[in-house]
Amino acid sequence: RKEVEQDPGPFNVPEGATVAFNCTYSNSASQSFFWYRQDCRKEPKLLMSVYSSGNEDGRFTAQLNRASQYISLLIRDSKLSDSATYLCVVNNQAGTALIFGKGTTLSVSS
Amino acid sequence: SQTIHQWPATLVQPVGSPLSLECTVEGTSNPNLYWYRQAAGRGLQLLFYSVGIGQISSEVPQNLSASRPQDRQFILSSKKLLLSDSGFYLCAWSKTVSGNTIYFGEGSWLTVV
């Protein structure tokens, strides 16, 4: 099983739609979870951390299920500017670095 | 505030030539430093990380090496590039405590021809 797995997509949605991305991770001892966003040919940037109780930042909601080793990201009221690749991120076994999933591509159209 | 710079932004190198990518962080001390690579159509791969001067951990065996001559300086090198070394190289830093958010530099696009 890969350390971090994501559905690559692409997800093609109209403006205003709600879209959800899922991610699974293999290291049951992981303690740190994040979603990063990467625009084409740019560096990844932090979108939000993921907390055990779930957390929300505007239109974005992140959930963590430790029992199933599963992370999700929900985007409500999609904007054209949300088009990007979303990377699921988990800390490595040693806790010294972050491991990135391959990303899920989102394309929002008008 | 903290900033991270890496250079060069783009380079085209022939097979067998050497490589040196440099990264510096400003506004923080004793950061964790990282080199990642993103090959075409693939995810981010952790190459090296460093928790202090002269301390380098390699995640993937390859013909690349890393060095940390100063607290906030991280260098990625190769003596002889391979075609498979082409990709997007990203330097990143985080605070010392493990599991913290990491912040990336703008990346270096390497094409080996």
What is the pLDDT at residue B61? 67
In whole angstroms, give the CA distance from residue A100 to residue A106: 17
- Convert the pLDDT of each residue in B52-61 to its tens digit: 999 999 887 6
What is the pLDDT at residue A47? 97
Interface test with B, best of A27, A37, A43 (most B CBs within 10 A): A43
CB contacts, 8 Å: B49 with chain A? 96-97
Measured in whole angstroms, the distance separating CA A65 from the mean position of its chain's CA atoms is 14
What letter does residue A104 receive in the DSSP assignment?
E
**Res. B101: pLDDT tops 80:** yes
- Convert the pLDDT of each residue in A21-51 to its tens digit: 999 999 888 889 999 999 999 999 999 999 9
Interface test with A, best of B102, B106, B108 (most A CBs within 10 A): B102
Across residues B50-71, what is the average pLDDT? 90
**Res. B22: pLDDT tops 90:** yes
What is the pLDDT at residue B40? 80
* B78 Cα to chain A: minimum distance (Å): 22
Share of chain A above pLDDT 70, in %: 99
In whole angstroms, give the CA distance from residue B71 to residue B28: 10
In whole angstroms, give the CA distance from residue A21 to residue A62: 10
In whole angstroms, give the CA distance from residue B44 to residue A11: 20
In whole angstroms, give the CA distance from residue A47 to residue A36: 5
